[in-house]
Amino acid sequence: MDLQKFGEQLDGYRTADPAVRDQRLEHDCLILLSRMQLLLEKIGAKSSQHDMTATVEAGRALLVELLEFVTVRFGDKAVASDLTEICRLRDSMRDLQRLIGRTFWANLFRVESSHNDYRIQLYRQIGLDFADVLKDLMSVIDGHFNSPKKTTEWQSSSRVLIEDFRQRW
């Protein structure tokens, strides 16, 4: 698509009837939810180091999918208030990766790692942090629906996805 056509479509969206904008946003949100659900399928509630790594990677992909959706549609400012939490989550994921690396050596020599309890605790906390960030980012979308009914439907869908995430983590 060339830039002129994109500009015309954007102008058409901005001047469209609120019901039409809601319909377009709802359509995009349904696609987002289906992509997120596919990523959610990769998240399992296991605690081995390999499973933890795979689960964190799936969580990361889920977060990136949502961040891209929100920033593309609503701009970078839409996530500005969540940046601190997102960066803290990223740092926690790095810490977990280091702990998993330490556990590898303990497993190689078939000894108990002194970091196992902390690794499991950090893994659980990362799951809680992920759920909070996902909830906050999904609530950004709430304010862009014109219809209270569409807002309520989106909030309900968001709650279901977040609860599914929490149960799987």
CA of residue 43 relative to chain centroid, distance = 12
Helix H, strand E, coil C: the string for 111-153 is CCCCCHHHHHHHHHHHHHHHHHHHHHHHHHHHCCCCCHHHHHH
pTM above 0.85, yes or no: no
> Do residues 78 and 140 make contact, with C-beta atoms less than 8 angstroms apart?
yes
Pull the structure tokens for residue 48.
């081995």
Does residue 124 carry a pLDDT above 80? yes
pLDDT of residue 99: 80
C-alpha–C-alpha distance, residues 157 and 32, integer Å = 11
> Do residues 144 and 19 make contact, with C-beta atoms less than 8 angstroms apart?
no
Cβ partners under 8 Å of residue 57, min gap 6? 42
pLDDT of residue 141: 96
pLDDT in tens, 42-69: 887 555 556 888 899 999 999 999 999 9
The band of 144, judged by pLDDT with boundaries at 50, 70 and 90, is very high
Q: What is the DSSP letter of 1?
A: -
Residue 110, sorted as left (phi over 0), alpha (psi -120 to 50) or beta, turns out to be left
> Do residues 66 and 32 make contact, with C-beta atoms less than 8 angstroms apart?
yes
Q: Quick one: which H or E segment has residue 75?
A: none
